[in-house]
Structure 1
Amino acid sequence: MTGHSEPAAPEPAPASSDWRATGDRIDALIAASASGGAVARERSEELVRLVTDFYGAGLEQLLDVLYEHGRLGDDVLAALAADDLVASLLLVHGMHPYSVETRVEKALESVRPYLGSHGGDVELLGVTDDGVVGLRLLGSCDGCPSSSVTLKLAVQGAVEAAAPEITTIEVETAAEGPSDASGPVVPVDALFSRLHEASASPGRPGASWQPVPELNTLPSGGVVRVTAGGVEVLACRIGADLFAFRDWCARCDLPLEGAALARRLGGASGDAVLRCPACRAHYDVRRAGACLEEEGLHLDPLPLLADGTSVSIAVPTPVAT
């Protein structure tokens, strides 16, 4: 009919498997409701709270039923905690099977290979009741101008992803540490002064988390070369674990184009090595890319975070010229 306009079709909802996109869409819809005034926004927020509480009660009841029937053992709890979507739902409703301390320690384990490649380590001192995580950085964090930046990104990003309910991450200074510490402590003031210099000084590299969606579907045993934030990256997957390195061989100084995973001779099924197709050097993936042929050589590992639907890599930002 002339003069009659059809109502705009609603935007399609994200696929159910992309739960992060669904969360973003919910936020966008709530923000859009603000155009209808404060009352409309309050009603939208109340609707989301009610739906969340409703499904949270159902999730809790489901776990109770499993427990009553003897099906909620340690193995099932571990499987639930390992699924990022389920773990996120459990966290939202305060039903995660692992304590904050356990989740933080698991997060630190995931970044220790990266810290170790720079001669460093991190120790969990504890978590307070009000959500303050205490850490101690050990060893040397030197090696490149951006190492402190990527170290902070690796530790902070991994901890916050594993325990989003924490409020603060505090790093103990050398003066505050006990005298019998297992290694030298990196002073927090020195660490953060380097971070400030990196972000404030022209020509000094910083670092940032870059999403790499193509790694979501990388199969076990797969190796792929990608670009993240202008940095060439070589990524591979062993079982459920993802690893990322700079795309550059430490032995022959060439890109790792055509590199493939192989089982380490005499190692377990999960002990894989990357072989450079140019010089045939072998790098232990799980040991931060340590070279098997020449001691002291290793690939440059990059911090990586995966939440089940998205993967991000911490890469140095390009140096301004």
Structure 2
Amino acid sequence: MSPTTAPAHAERAGRRIEEVLDRLSGTADPAAVAAAEELVRSLMEFYGAGLARILELLSAPEDRPRVEALFGDGLVASLLLLHDLHPEDLTARIGRALHGIDGAGRGGAGRGGRGVLDVLGFDEATGTLRLRAVSGCGCGCAAGAPDLRRAAEDALSCFAPEVTAVEVRTEPSPEEPALLQIGTRPGAGA
């Protein structure tokens, strides 16, 4: 399995587990349902202990680049979060997720074809992350906002599952001149 197909494979496996548990829940045998749920919990504990041990073994300073690479991998980050082992806080994980989106950076600084993303805030009660996209199209248009929102949602699903909604506000770039409105002179063309 290649690194690019691993997250899709893991997502399919997760959906299959949920489907099987739902099918079992629909049966009349509560003992079978309880046994299946216990099996899933036991496997989670087993794999969680293994992941914790891997992080412990990679805790030496010379291994920091390897650990950073693990934290930057969507599948590994998802597993660490699932087992409550990810050592980065929400702000760092949001920055990590947004870093790969069209040049957006950790603190919101970055350039790409469509613009720059700045984090405006996160509402814990609703799970909504508010972002500002500074457009780079020269006219202040918001053409890339839906694409940026989708890209942010996809990246955040692995790194920050606490974020359940993304709002993107688009503004013209401060480095670009204001759009000049050309019209007719008063009284001309009348």
TM-score, normalising length: structure 1? 0.40
Where do 5+ consecutive residues of structure 1 fail to align?
1-16, 175-180, 185-321
1:63–1:72 Cα contact (<8 Å) kept:
no
1:122 aligns to 2:112 (yes or no): no
1:92 CA drift (Å): 0.9
Q: Which residue of 2 aligns with 1:36?
A: 27
Q: Residue by residue, what CA displacement relative to the aligned partner does 1:162-215 show, whole Å, maximum 9, x if unpaired? A: 3123244355698xxxxxx9749xxxxxxxxxxxxxxxxxxxxxxxxxxxxxxx
Tell me what 2:55 maps to: 63
1:164 maps to 161
Quote the offset at 1:113 in angstroms.
Answer: 4.6
Aligned length: 156
How many Å separate the matches in 1 of 2:38 and 2:134? 46
Give the corresponding residue for 1:46. 38
Shift of 1:127: 4.2
Distance 1:19 1:155, change over 3 A: closer
- Runs (5+) with no aligned partner, structure 2: 1-5, 105-110, 176-190
Counterpart of 1:86 in structure 2: which amino acid? V
Higher strand share: 1
Q: Which one-letter code corresponds to 1:30 in the other structure?
A: L
Residue 68 (structure 2) pairs with residue 78 (structure 1): yes
Q: Which has the higher helix share?
A: 2
Distance (whole Å) between structure 1 residues aligned to residue 167 and residue 27 of structure 2: 42
Judged with a 3 Å threshold, the aligned counterparts in structure 2 of structure 1 residues 155 and 22 are, in CA distance, closer, same or farther, namely: closer
- Summarize deviations over 1:72-94 as a string: whole Å, max 9, x none: 73212112223443322212112
* RMSD of aligned Cα (Å): 3.5
AA partner of residue 134 (structure 1): R
Q: Deviations over 1:101-139 (max 9, x none)?
A: 222223223223598434x32201344666553322333
Distance 1:107 1:173, change over 3 A: same
| Mapped pair 1:154 → 2:151 | yes
Find the aligned partners of 2:141 and 2:155 in 1 and give their Cα distance: 18
Are residue 136 (structure 1) and residue 128 (structure 2) matched?
A: no
Conserved 8 A contact 1:141-1:148:
no
Q: Match of 2:15?
A: 24
Give the conservation status (yes or no) of the 8 Å contact 1:132–1:169: yes
Structure 1 CA distance, aligned partners of 2:26 and 2:90?
Answer: 39
> 3-state DSSP class of the match of 1:111?
coil
Deviations 1:275-297 (A, max 9, x none): xxxxxxxxxxxxxxxxxxxxxxx
* Higher deviation after alignment, 100-109 or 164-173: 164-173
Provide the identity percentage: 33
Q: Secondary structure at the match of 2:101?
A: helix
